[in-house]
Chains A and B, each alone.
Chain A
Amino acid sequence: KAGVTQTPRYLIKTRGQQVTLSCSPISGHRSVSWYQQTPGQGLQFLFEYFSETQRNKGNFPGRFSGRQFSNSRSEMNVSTLELGDSALYLCASRPLALEGSPLHFGNGTRLTVT
């Protein structure tokens, strides 16, 4: 079974621009979560989608948004990029959005904002 696929692997953007990151979950997984990893803050929860609905959102500004399609693929969008948005963005999937069920992570998209 193919793992979680994230594209692109690397991205360089300029302050003020917007960016869209893509995630294809493991086949059969209906829940997709997004996390931001930075050296200072570690891994932080952005949001989780299940059956095209956002279940919850972490403590991030409204510039961070996402969506999930009927085939469970997900996209994450960041508008009006700031230097502090430079991070590794990780997508994770699981079969159902059940508490305690482990997440399966992709290898991430490394975003650099200049």
Chain B
Amino acid sequence: DQQVKQNSPSLSVQEGRISILNCDYTNSMFDYFLWYKKYPAEGPTFLISISSIKDKNEDGRFTVFLNKSAKHLSLHIVPSQPGDSAVYFCAASDKSGGGADGLTFGKGTHLIIQP
């Protein structure tokens, strides 16, 4: 049973436009959410996170929105740049384990920025 779902395996966006990556979760015990970016042949790189007590967190071109009632979060990238082309993973931490249970990852969305 997939507790973190990224329903779009791929997304193509024009350079300069907004990229919106979506993530849904089912476990109501998740209370931290993180986004990672991964280039081929490299490990994932942390981008931005949000605690469940917030509904928005912003860092430069990256903004994460959390809708707890819908169990949905999204990552907005504005403006999109060619270097943003990568696989993006949504991940969540379960507070019932005190963070000791590791992160639960979605299967990723491949973002392609078109020139």
Contacts and interface: CB of A to CB of B under 8 A. Distances in A.
Interface of B: 31-32, 34, 36, 41-46, 49, 51, 89, 91, 93, 95, 97-108
Given A105-B45, A106-B43, A55 B108 contact: no
Tell me if A's interface is mostly helix, strand, loop or mixed: strand
Interface size bucket, A side?
A: 20 to 34
Nearest to A50: B100
Contact of B102 (A48, A98, A100, A108): A48
A56 interface: yes
Contact of B42 (A99, A102, A103, A107): A107
A90 B42 CA distance: 10
Contact of A48 (B45, B91, B100, B105): B100
Given A48-B100, A56-B101, A99 B93 contact: yes
A55 B49 CA distance: 23
Contacts of A87: none
B96 to A, nearest CB: 10
Interface of A: 4, 33, 35, 42-48, 55-56, 58, 90, 92, 97-108
B99 A97 contact: yes
A112 to B, nearest CB: 15
A103 B34 CA distance: 10
28 contacts: A35-B102, A42-B105, A43-B89, A43-B91, A43-B103, A43-B105, A45-B102, A46-B102, A47-B102, A55-B100, A56-B97, A56-B100, A56-B102, A90-B43, A97-B99, A97-B100, A99-B95, A99-B98, A100-B31, A100-B32, A100-B51, A101-B99, A102-B34, A105-B36, A105-B43, A105-B45, A107-B41, A107-B42
Contacts of B51: 100
List the 4 closest pairs (A to B, CB-CB), nearest first: A99-B99, A45-B102, A105-B43, A100-B32
